[in-house]
Amino acid sequence: EVFKAHNIGYFFYNGGGDSADTCFKVSQLSEQMGYPIQAIHVPKTVDNDLPITDCCPGFGSVAKYIAVSTLEASYDVRSMAKTSTKVFVLEVMGRHAGWIAAAGGLVEDHGIPVVILFPEIEFDQKKFLARVDKLVKEHGYCTVVVSEGCHYPDGKFLAEQGTRDAFGHAQLGGAAPVVANMIKDALGHKFHWAVADYLQRAARHIASKTDVKQAYELGKKAVELAIKGHNSVMPTVDRLSDAPYKYKIGMADLKDVANVEKFMPRDFITKDGFGITPKCKRYLTPLIQGEDYPKYKDGLPVYVTLKNVAVAKKLAAFKL
Amino acid sequence: EVFKAHNIGYFFYNGGGDSADTCFKVSQLSEQMGYPIQAIHVPKTVDNDLPITDCCPGFGSVAKYIAVSTLEASYDVRSMAKTSTKVFVLEVMGRHAGWIAAAGGLVEDHGIPVVILFPEIEFDQKKFLARVDKLVKEHGYCTVVVSEGCHYPDGKFLAEQGTRDAFGHAQLGGAAPVVANMIKDALGHKFHWAVADYLQRAARHIASKTDVKQAYELGKKAVELAIKGHNSVMPTVDRLSDAPYKYKIGMADLKDVANVEKFMPRDFITKDGFGITPKCKRYLTPLIQGEDYPKYKDGLPVYVTLKNVAVAKKLAAFKL
| Sites in chain A below the pLDDT cut of 70 | 161-173
pLDDT in tens, A257-282: 998 999 999 999 999 999 999 999 99
Q: Does residue B47 have an active-site annotation?
A: yes
The average confidence (pLDDT) of chain B is 93
**What is residue B165's predicted lDDT score, i.e. its pLDDT?**
47
pLDDT value of position A166: 47
Q: What is the ipTM of this complex?
A: 0.94
Domains plus CATH for chain B?
A: 2-58+207-262+282-291 (3.40.50.450), 68-204 (3.40.50.460)
Bridge partner list, B248? B238
How far apart, in whole angstroms, are the C-alpha atoms of residue B67 and residue B102?
9
* Cα separation, A180 vs B169, whole angstroms: 13
Identify all chain B residues contacting A173, using CB atoms and an 8 Å cutoff.
Answer: 177, 193
Checking B126-131 for CB contacts under 8 A at 24+ apart, the result is B127/B272, B127/B273, B128/B274, B129/B182, B129/B183, B129/B186, B129/B187, B131/B272, B131/B274
CA distance B55 to B50: 8
Residues from chain B that touch A176, judged by Cβ atoms under 8 A, are 195
Band of residue B2 on the pLDDT scale cut at 50, 70, 90: confident
Of A18, A21, A47, A154, the catalytic one is: A47
**To probe the interface with B, which of A18, A45, A172, A195 has the most B CB atoms within 10 Å?**
A195
- From residue A238, give the alpha-carbon distance in Å to each of A56, A244, A246: 11, 14, 9
Does residue B168 have a pLDDT over 80? no
Give the chain A residue whose CA is nearest to the CA of B108. Answer: A300
For residue B107, list chain A residues with Cβ-Cβ distance below 8 A. 300
Label residue B161 by pLDDT band (50, 70, 90).
low
- Whether residue A116 contacts residue A261, with contact meaning beta carbons closer than 8 Å, is answered with no
Could you tell me if B238 and B249 are in contact, meaning their C-beta atoms sit under 8 angstroms apart?
A: yes
Probe site for chain A from B108, B143, B165, B184 (most A CB atoms < 10 A): B165
Would you call B300 and A171 a contact, using CB atoms and an 8 Å cutoff?
Answer: no
Q: Which residues pair with A90 in a beta bridge?
A: A145, A194
Q: Which residues contact A2 (CB under 8 A, 6 or more apart)?
A: A8, A315
- Where would I find the beta strands (DSSP E) of B93-245? 114-117, 142-147, 191-195, 233-241
> Could you tell me the pLDDT band of residue B164, with boundaries at 50, 70 and 90?
low
Say whether pLDDT at B166 is over 50. Answer: no
